[in-house]
Amino acid sequence: MATTKTDPKLALTANGAKKSKLYEGLTRDQLIQAYRIIYTSRRIDDREILLKRQQKIYFQMSGAGHEGIGTAAGLALKAGYDWFYPYYRDRALCLALGVKPYDMFLQGVGAADDPSSGGRQMPSHWSYPSLHIVTQSSPTGSQILQAVGCAEAGRYLARHPKAAEIPASSSKDYRQFKNVSFQGDEVTYVSLGDGTSSEGEFWEAMNAAALGKLPVIFCVEDNGYAISVPVEVQTAGGSISRLVSGFPNFHFEEVDGTYPMASYAALQRATRYCREGHGPAFVHAHVIRPYSHSLSDDERLYRPDAERERDAQRDPVTRTQMFLLREGILDEKGINQLEKEVEAELQTAVDAALEALPPAPESVTRFVYSPDLDPASSTFDTQAVAPEAPVDGKKPAGKTMADLITMTLRDEMQRDERIVIFGEDVADCSREEYLKRKLVKGKGGVFKLTFGLQNEFGNDRVFNAPLAEAAIVGRATGMATRGLKPVVEIQFFDYIWPAMMQIRDELSVIRWRSNNGFSCPVVIRVAIGGYLTGGAIYHSQCGESIFTHIPGLRVVFPSNSQDAAGLLRTAIRCDDPVLFLEHKRLYRESFGRAAYPGPDYMIPFGKAKVVHPGTDLTVITYGAVVPRALQAAQKLEREQGVKVELIDLRCLNPFDWDTIAVSVAKTNRALVAYEDTLSWGYGAEIAARIADQLFDQLDAPVRRVAAKDVFVAYQPILEDAILPQPNDLFLAMKELSEY
């Protein structure tokens, strides 16, 4: 692909000053408008800096020096039509798209009416649903993968327009709360700083966009610094343009981003390329950072005066003003008049924002989860269909957990065209012609749970992703923001960690931080757990408590086939992000096999199951410990007559406190058993709650049985010694019952 470099000086001399003349495609009125935005943006920064010094706001990030490229992007693209993932320096872009200065000051004071977050996020963390400016966070670069997912959703919806509809059958699922819109030629714009281009997620996003020829404009606003780290230390060779130049399918632009005219021309070309469906575009905009990184930084500590003065020569405010004067578009009086108008508008906005009310303290827990659809409610409580009648008096063989998960996915995909499945190896075969010509059978996942789905639903809906876990979750988050329902797979729990930033700082908190402006109810299916005889450190990990610790994320962990089917359906139909943990050892275990409970069978979240009723001791567990604890409980009853009440939690967030409390009130003894390492594990929370709230009911201390505090070893003798075994459970139950 060609790289277009725009020389701003040439662009300027090539343009005359005649009224009808266009300046790099901009009319005189648009240029005046551009100057108004640039000047407004700078003056908002200056006002905020003052307000911060007066301690009337609590943080400040400036967009100073980046106003040229931002304004140009706002003029080249369409608010409420295209989609935007801007970063914190994009004040001018947001103004150009229609955000009001008053809204920006509301962010600064943390007002209840701040439309971005209602006082939950720092200023310059933009979120304006009607303009299609998607909620932004602080981690550098985590927006980029979501922008790719957003573009993918747009294209998917254009190809599957019926998926955007809200059918009558959705009356009880997330779709009734997701109005989906799309445009056939929409573009997604994402911006980032030069330092941020060092993040792995940037490269994952570039790769995914190039692979999919997606209409994404990546705009790197290169001010030469990432806080105090200069570009030559950040980017090998000092030029991000050079580094990305090998990506196929891209259109490249490199431009002086302090000139709005040249920037506009570059963005027009980039936008056209994307709208026409040729692929993504990369715009490298050289800008300046005339103020320090933030008010907490003093750039004089690492930048000499001479360098800062050199930058000042390229200031977009003075540059654009000089251009207007030189071209006779505005005279001095006109400039003064415009600036006076802006000052007056900002004064009114500041005065009003300082009067705005803060949010009520009791509002803090609103929108952690969907306010519309509670997955713990009776909406998700349906009956299983009766199993097939026995043939010749023989009971039909029960289906494995793996079988029922596949069947549930298939039925849900049939029912809801918004569902897309992707991950590593999940497709039957990426080279579709092999399937068509029946040369191969297809794979469908390393555990084969998605086998046959690509064949049945096509590779728009079931496809392999590059080996990049952050990209899987980040792209899914972007898609779900647009209304799709991605059901993605992380191949092994042990490899979920590259996606952790996306899960913790994005997926789980998008609804809360945008004050319900955006949501992203993704389902992440993950194969988890040990007892594999040879699984070793990196194919046996648990670690569910790390995720139950995240507000906004539902965590489910079924122990048997029927529960897996019912809970997976609830996960798919609900309106919250769900981590759906599937124990590898249980996939094909004979324990807990069942008939398919039907295409509408659902189990509400947070409802435990009493697997074995008892009166002497309560054992609270989940996952692969359920069959082991059951074995131990049966033995204890046989040998000692002790009756254990065994509770399978099934869902870890929310969890069923009521069932635990009722049981402990009856047995007066509680043991929490789990496969993960003992210390700081999931059982610690349950044990603490029992000690706190049921202290008066207890006749014995609350005990825990779990893995030793080491990773799982390869040699089976070691694995046995590390993970809780039926005999460990038996001994702990016996001891506690005798206490």
Question: Among all residues, which ones are annotated catalytic?
Answer: 539
Question: Which of 226, 262, 426, 449: binder of ligand TPP (CB under 6 A)?
Answer: 226
CB-based burial label for 333 (10 Å; 0-12, 13-18, 19+) = exposed
Classify residue 245 by its DSSP letter.
T
Classify residue 562 by its DSSP letter.
H
Residues in region 151-210 near Mg ion by CB under 5 A:
193-195
Classify residue 172 by its DSSP letter.
T
Question: Which of 193, 215, 445, 654: binder of ligand TPP (CB under 6 A)?
Answer: 193
What is the end-to-end Cα distance of the chain in Å, rounded?
A: 76
For ligand TPP, which is the closer residue by CB, 69 or 595?
69
Cα 445 to Cα 426: distance, rounded to the nearest angstrom: 4
Q: Judged by CB under 5 A, how many residues of this single chain contact Mg ion? A: 6
Asked whether position 202 contacts ligand TPP by CB under 6 A, the answer is: no
Interaxial angle between packed helices 67-76 and 28-53, expressed in degrees from 0 to 180 and rounded to the nearest 10: 130
Asked whether position 452 contacts ligand TPP by CB under 6 A, the answer is: no
479 contacts: CB under 8 Å, gap ≥ 6: 149, 150, 152, 153, 156, 420, 486, 522
Cα 174 to Cα 166: distance, rounded to the nearest angstrom: 10
List the beta bridge partners of residue 485.
419
Question: Which of 114, 152, 186, 194: binder of ligand TPP (CB under 6 A)?
Answer: 194
Residue 369 in tokens: 């989860």
**Binds 409, which of ligand TPP, Mg ion, none (CB < 5 to 8 A, cut-off by type)?**
none
Before 280, cis peptide (omega within 30)? Answer: no
Asked whether position 141 contacts Mg ion by CB under 5 A, the answer is: no
How many Cβ atoms sit within 10 Å of the Cβ of residue 613? Answer: 12
**Binds 89, which of Mg ion, ligand TPP, none (CB < 5 to 8 A, cut-off by type)?**
ligand TPP
Minimum gap (Å) between residue 231 Cβ and Mg ion: 7
**Reading across the β-sheet that carries 651-653, which strands appear in turn?**
462-464, 419-423, 485-490, 523-528, 578-583, 554-556, 651-653
**Binds 415, which of Mg ion, ligand TPP, none (CB < 5 to 8 A, cut-off by type)?**
none
**Binds 138, which of ligand TPP, Mg ion, none (CB < 5 to 8 A, cut-off by type)?**
ligand TPP
**Binds 363, which of ligand TPP, Mg ion, none (CB < 5 to 8 A, cut-off by type)?**
none
Cα 161 to Cα 180: distance, rounded to the nearest angstrom: 10
Q: Quick one: which segment of 22-30, 138-146, 431-439, 484-492 binds ligand TPP (CB under 6 A)? A: 138-146
The amino acid present at 129, given as its one-letter code, is: P
459 contacts: CB under 8 Å, gap ≥ 6: 427, 430, 432
Residues in region 77-96 near ligand TPP by CB under 6 A:
89
Find where tokens 């966009």 sit.
209
Minimum gap (Å) between residue 61 Cβ and Mg ion: 12
Asked whether position 363 contacts ligand TPP by CB under 6 A, the answer is: no
Q: Quick one: which segment of 133-141, 157-165, 300-308, 403-411 binds ligand TPP (CB under 6 A)? A: 133-141
Asked whether position 140 contacts ligand TPP by CB under 6 A, the answer is: yes
Residue 132 in tokens: 């299609």
Minimum gap (Å) between residue 64 Cβ and ligand TPP: 10
Question: Which of 27, 30, 138, 239: binder of ligand TPP (CB under 6 A)?
Answer: 138
Question: Which of 41, 196, 268, 514: binder of ligand TPP (CB under 6 A)?
Answer: 196
Asked whether position 223 contacts Mg ion by CB under 5 A, the answer is: yes
Q: Which residues bind ligand TPP (CB under 6 A)?
A: 89, 138-140, 192-196, 221, 223, 225-227, 293
Q: Which residues bind Mg ion (CB under 5 A)?
A: 193-195, 223, 225-226
